[in-house]
């Protein structure tokens, strides 16, 4: 499985270039806030095993105003490093490597700062 190049972004972590992407449209479960906000990561030059990161919140475009978070490059960089520490080898072929993060994991990944969640219908 490879990530489509259209709509993806490049990011360099410790000298290695990765491609990451959030799914363009939510799945039915994600739209109902039953499924988590996810994004996928792979090597840019020679795609191998894909990393699928699940965050403990809903997508911003979910139908019901559940809490959400903005996926920023610092978060992507931190999750790539954590996945590498947990055994993800992006050069190896194989099934998707799932990395499910909890609120505590996000706090650890973001250097002790708790995640800043938003509720879409409360935005101004």
Task: Kindly list the distances between the CA atom of residue 113 and the CA atoms of 13, 69, 75, 103, 108, in Å, as whole numbers in the listed order.
Answer: 21, 14, 12, 11, 8
Give the whole-angstrom CA distance, residue 102 versus residue 11: 23
Residues 50 and 42 sit within 8 Å (Cβ to Cβ): yes
Give the whole-angstrom CA distance, residue 98 versus residue 58: 17
**What tens digit of pLDDT does each residue of 82-102 get?**
999 999 999 999 999 999 999
- Ranges of each domain in the chain: 9-122
Q: Answer yes or no: pTM beyond 0.85.
A: yes
**What tens digit of pLDDT does each residue of 33-83 get?**
889 999 999 999 988 999 999 999 988 888 887 888 888 899 999 999 999
């Amino acid at each position: 499985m490879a990530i489509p190049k259209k709509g993806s972004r490049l990011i360099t972590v410790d000298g290695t270039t990765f491609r990451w992407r959030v799914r363009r449209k939510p799945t039915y479960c994600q739209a109902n806030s039953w499924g988590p906000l996810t994004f996928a990561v792979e090597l840019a030059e020679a795609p191998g095993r894909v990393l699928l990161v699940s965050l403990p919140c809903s997508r911003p475009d979910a139908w019901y105003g559940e809490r959400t978070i903005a996926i920023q490059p610092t978060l992507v960089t931190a999750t790539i490093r954590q996945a590498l520490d947990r055994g993800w080898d992006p050069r190896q072929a194989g099934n998707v490597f799932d990395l499910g993060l909890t609120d505590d994991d996000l706090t650890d990944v973001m250097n002790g700062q708790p995640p800043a969640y938003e509720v879409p219908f409360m935005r101004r």
